[in-house]
Amino acid sequence: MPITTCVFDAYGTLFDVTAAARAAAAEPGRGALAAHWPQIARDWRLKQLEYSWLRAVAGRHVDFWQVTGDGLDWALEAAGLQDAELRERLLALYRELAPYPEVAEMLGALKAAGKATAILSNGSREMLDAAVESAGIGGLLDAVLSVDEVGIFKPADAVYDMVGARFGTAPEEVLFVSSNGWDAAAAAGYGFRTVWVNRAGAPMDRLWARPDHIVANLTSVPEFV
């Protein structure tokens, strides 16, 4: 069955999750942050993901903006940089994360090939709308799907169900692309064809399924459709 629909995770896949800390660290007067920003960015992302999984398992759902703030609070405390102004600045920058440089051209190629395109993300709708607008890619997307609609985070099947509900597709018609190995694997187990964007060269996660393709960036995604 041919692929009709290409669906993308947002954070870390289309949008660079390290961009907020990196940009803030380059601002005047941010010497303390400049010395720690790579670790803060890593810790922030790790805790953001961990808290989403723990809340899903415990049935304690909140929107992803709260999870993002909670993760940042942990990362700043771990670095000894508990500063209310810095926190607010980092969160403001996170709402406008830079897209990876190949995103617009890649999405344009998919649209030119007649494929439907969408985001499927843990992000709240407000977060996603802000990021899409800032990146200027709204015209290249047919839908932006947030887990707000189902009240649980990935990798719950209820999240992946949203694609078929929106587009009327069978799972095998969908190419799902994520920079998270666990997300790509879970989506493969669900029945999507999958691409893992392994920007960090990380080992394969030991899960119940494996992604169909592994790439270093998004440039080659149109080749798989």
Convert the pLDDT of each residue in 80-122 to its tens digit: 998 999 999 999 999 999 999 999 999 999 999 999 999 999 9
Domain ranges of the chain: 5-15+98-224, 19-94
Residues carrying an active site annotation: 9
Q: Tell me if the domain spanning 5-15+98-224 has CATH number 3.30.70.590.
A: no
* Per-residue pLDDT, 1: 86
Contact (Cβ atoms closer than 8 angstroms) between residue 111 and residue 85: no
* Per-residue pLDDT, 25: 98
Cα–Cα distance for residue pair 186/103, rounded to 1 Å: 23
The CATH number of domain 19-94, selected from 1.10.3210.10, 1.10.150.240, 1.20.58.1610, 3.40.640.10: 1.10.150.240
Decide: residue 120, CB within 10 A, 0-12 exposed, 13-18 middle, 19+ buried.
Answer: buried
Convert the pLDDT of each residue in 114-159 to its tens digit: 999 999 999 999 999 999 999 999 999 999 999 999 999 999 999 9
